Structure 1
Amino acid sequence: MTVIGVLLLIKFMSPERKKVPPNPPGIPLLGNINTLRKETMLSTMRKLHKQYGDLFSINIINQRLIFVGGYKTTYELLVKKGDVLGDRPNFLTKQLLRNAGVFSTSGPLWKEHRTFCLTSLRSLGFNKGNLQTRIIEEIEYFLAEVENTHGQPFDIQDLVSKSIANVISALVFGKRFELSDPTSAELCLLLNAIFQSTVFHSPIFIFPFLKHLPGDLFGSKKLMKKVNQIFDIICKILDEHRSTFDENNIRDFIDCYLKEQKKKNEAYKEHTFSDEQLLSTLVEFFSAGLETTSTAIKWGIVYLMHNQEIQKRMRKEIENTIASGRLPTLEDKPKLPYCQAVCYEVLRLGNVSPTTSPHALKHDVTLNGFVIPKEAFLFIDLDSINMDPKIFPDPFSFKPERFLSEDGKVTGTEKICAFSMGRRVCLGESVAKMELFLFMTSLIQRFEIHNEAGKLLPSLKGNFGLTYTPQSLAASYKKIF
């Protein structure tokens, strides 16, 4: 009763709303609180877009959520009118990340630290051979673990997560964890639990004050506990790393940050390169970098299990290009157009992030004849772009050939929207694509992936959380050479 009373009070105190994109009928006072259920979220969004078009609203108590979809409309907002995007709204994510980092900040702090992150990562080999070397080294460990299963069925999801975590760790901490390391296992387990347990449209994200109510009806306290555990793990690693810092020997991102922090301390009394900012940024790197890339690879394996002929065609192209049997590299990419097309189709149909995290506006904006009010929470529906039959005919079918021209060249990939677009495009897009290509081609080169004998193929219906993940992935991996 206390929760209902508080929510009703908010409703009565809310100002009259402007004319906005249409919304489905709701419950009096409570609005559409039962519309965006986690279990049916994806099908509900698709139904509402079909009914209302590129723009629709959802009202939850006093808060309006506006969903923007369709390539043309999304491009208009995020690119052509991108300057109207302002702060992240007062969302639980901000509090979880302790109001620091890059993901949930904005303004000068966001701009300064996003620029610093990109510059630092490039200096460390981001997008260069150095990073590729680290990825391929990790792939060798990954393939060895797969080989050790001797063709017996197993669920590869944990191994994929730990392997991608090691790529991030090498870049950020300058080291990798053993695949059996308990710290790495705990980190991956916590992140996986967080990403699968809730959605950005949940009441606990929209109304952060709910965490102060007695009990844990919406799971916010449980969520906060898991996030704090992640902070504790990374803080411990950071403290150990700090003790060996040498500004004349920069090894990784942490060293880049500590060097910049030292420079700022000497030049300014106040600046934004704080220990808190570093810690939150590291948590973001692991959260976003691990979950999105590992989930894309997992979906790739699922779709190849369902499409054995595509798997064979990939392998044939790899064998014709790399006769020596060495692992594929980025230098081979131009000669592997079909493998590239498979990876692009995984990004499209795998649908790792059906919607973005929420945006806020600096002021009201008009879009497609509707007014989007400043106070609304704004979500970009990437699923509506990637599954648009006008752009991608027969969108629910896995068809890599849709990204190949008649002469066999890669084409049409610019309409995929797996990493958003505009100013808030994913910081690690190029790394994620690099990892997906190298892991997928290496795995298919060395192993045939088959369904467990007598078992059903893994479901193509995923679990909707902060990302969209496969349900299970039990398969056997038959070594080729």
Structure 2
Amino acid sequence: MSILSLPVILLTTALFVGFLAMFWSRDDGNLPPREPGRLLVGNVDIKTDAAMLFDLQKKHGDLITLKVFGQTIIVVCGYNTIKEVLVKHGESTSAHTTSFGFSEYFELSGIFGASGTKWRNQRKFGHETFRSIDSGSNNLESRVLEELPDVFQEIDKMKGTPFDVSRLIKTSHYNIISSLLFGQRFAHDDATLTRLVDLLDEVNKIVPEQLALNFMEWLKYVPGDPFKVRRRRFLVDEIFKIVEKSVDEHKETLENPKSDDFIHSFLQEQGKRKLNKESLEGFADRDILILGYTLYFTSAPVVDVLYWFILYLMHNQDVVVRMRKEIQENVGTNKPVTMADQEKLPYCRAVMYEVLRMCFTKVNLSPTHTFSEDLTVNGYTLPKGAWLMAALCTVNLDPNIFPEPEKFKPERFINENGQLFGY
């Protein structure tokens, strides 16, 4: 057998297995209306843009069934139905799918990769740790404010000429995460920070290219590494090395810590468990590397929100003028705006609400959840094991909730008394 015939055999085998899976997988007769798909692959060609999701909602209602390589996916649309599924039945829909990345690179650890006892332990630890850090003098807000002078300095270097702000945003954001994780921030030209930004940037570009591996993991064996499985492995290991270097430094100063940070808290928890002879599940040496990476990787959507925030302000100068006026009149310009000032700045907060509404319209499907038991919603059965995707655009662009939803109008969140309110 020639080497060239191997991919053909693998592909043929996978298609055959996929064909059987589509017919052998559970297909409850009371599923929500199903969108017709292609033979073998199902609805793999469905685009998750707003226009397509609104068409599906108009055609089928708030609940739609898709099939992708035999996997049942329930798309949930509309405010009331999304609220019922994710809030009323939150206990049954809080589980998440096991994506290729978390099984391949992170041994199903980390807040978004673990499950069961490990997930509960790590989630509880993370919540308590960040609450403790945020209650101290060196809280999250102070770490953000500490970053601002370098941001302004980098902008001043441009002397008013156009420049790509994306690199500056990424550098500043990951520097704040580094401060929380390592207890230290870096100069913007520091080699470690520069390397970290480059690594994370490339990882975030690779992840969408590996979506098919969530359905057909065998594709990672295709010669030539077309899905960049080995390349991502290298990038992840390089990020682990950066985190591991800081962990080793923290171990040397564990008795007299230099700062209150995530790694220090993890090592303290690990030591306490060892002393009490408790299980180290979720708190082994490898877990801190994965948790550290997770802090960087899962915070990437914040960077996207900042991009949109800048874009909308650039194209709505009247909003900028009104925000500046509100800050000048209620806070002044002699000190930075802080969280303590937010009650004085209802319009500025309304702008943030509107940016979130608009930018999460671009990210139409929320992170994938899965059903841990059968549910009955709107007369349909949502089966255990099916994936759940919430079509957020069907809420954020619903004219019955947000009149003229395509327009950027922060004042929609301000009442007649000039006070901020939510929908």
Q: TM-score, normalised by structure 1?
A: 0.79
Q: Is 1:393 paired with 2:403?
A: yes
Q: Is 1:356 paired with 2:369?
A: no
1:236 pairs, out of 245, 252, 256, with: 245
Q: CA 1:217/1:63 → structure 2, altered by over 3 Å: closer, same or farther? A: farther
Q: CA 1:127/1:360 → structure 2, altered by over 3 Å: closer, same or farther? A: farther
Q: Which residue of 2 aligns with 1:475?
A: none
CA RMSD after TM alignment: 2.4
Greater shift, 304-313 or 92-101, is seen at 92-101
Q: Which residue of 2 aligns with 1:378?
A: 388
| Whole-angstrom CA distance in 2 between matches of 1:127 and 1:349 | 34
1:84 pairs, out of 77, 92, 105, with: 92
2:267 pairs, out of 258, 262, 265, with: 258
Spell out, residue by residue over 1:365-385, the C-alpha distance to the aligned partner (whole angstroms, 9 max, x if none): 122222122122222233332
Spell out, residue by residue over 1:222-246, the C-alpha distance to the aligned partner (whole angstroms, 9 max, x if none): 4444333333332333333333322
| Whole-angstrom CA distance in 2 between matches of 1:181 and 1:31 | 48
Q: CA 1:256/1:198 → structure 2, altered by over 3 Å: closer, same or farther? A: closer
Q: Is 1:341 paired with 2:376?
A: no
How far did residue 196 of structure 1 move?
A: 3.8
Contact map agreement 1:87 1:105 (CA 8 A) in 2: no
Spell out, residue by residue over 1:63-95, the C-alpha distance to the aligned partner (whole angstroms, 9 max, x if none): 122222322212212221112136433321322
Contact map agreement 1:92 1:205 (CA 8 A) in 2: yes
2:289 pairs, out of 276, 279, 283, with: 279
Q: Which residue of 1 aligns with 2:3?
A: none
| Whole-angstrom CA distance in 1 between matches of 2:278 and 2:71 | 40
Q: Which residue of 2 aligns with 1:120?
A: 129
**Count of aligned positions:** 409
How far did residue 42 of structure 1 move?
A: 4.8
2:155 pairs, out of 146, 149, 160, with: 146
Q: Which residue of 1 aligns with 2:327?
A: 318
Bigger-Rg structure (1/2) = 2
| Whole-angstrom CA distance in 2 between matches of 1:403 and 1:142 | 30
Alignment-mate amino acid for residue 365 of structure 1: L
| Whole-angstrom CA distance in 2 between matches of 1:402 and 1:176 | 38
| Whole-angstrom CA distance in 2 between matches of 1:250 and 1:306 | 41
Question: Where does structure 1 lack aligned partners over 5 or more consecutive residues?
Answer: 416-481
Q: Which residue of 1 aligns with 2:28?
A: 18
Alignment-mate amino acid for residue 317 of structure 1: E
| Whole-angstrom CA distance in 2 between matches of 1:372 and 1:152 | 54
Q: Is 1:59 paired with 2:70?
A: no
Q: Which residue of 2 aligns with 1:73?
A: 81
2:417 pairs, out of 407, 413, 429, with: 407
How far did residue 143 of structure 1 move?
A: 1.4
Instruction: Kindly indicate whether structure 1 or structure 2 has the higher relative contact order, using CA contacts under 8 Å at least 6 residues apart.
Output: 1
Greater shift, 230-239 or 164-173, is seen at 230-239
Q: TM-score, normalised by structure 2?
A: 0.89
Contact map agreement 1:87 1:107 (CA 8 A) in 2: no
**1 or 2, which has the higher helix percentage?**
2
Contact map agreement 2:109 2:118 (CA 8 A) in 1: no
Contact map agreement 2:111 2:122 (CA 8 A) in 1: yes
How far did residue 250 of structure 1 move?
A: 5.6
| Whole-angstrom CA distance in 2 between matches of 1:319 and 1:26 | 57
How far did residue 197 of structure 1 move?
A: 4.1
Residue identity (%): 34
| Whole-angstrom CA distance in 1 between matches of 2:384 and 2:95 | 11
Alignment-mate amino acid for residue 68 of structure 1: V
Question: Where does structure 2 lack aligned partners over 5 or more consecutive residues?
Answer: 1-7
Secondary structure of the residue aligned to 1:238 is: helix
Q: Which residue of 1 aligns with 2:52?
A: 44
| Whole-angstrom CA distance in 2 between matches of 1:248 and 1:217 | 45
| Whole-angstrom CA distance in 2 between matches of 1:22 and 1:195 | 34
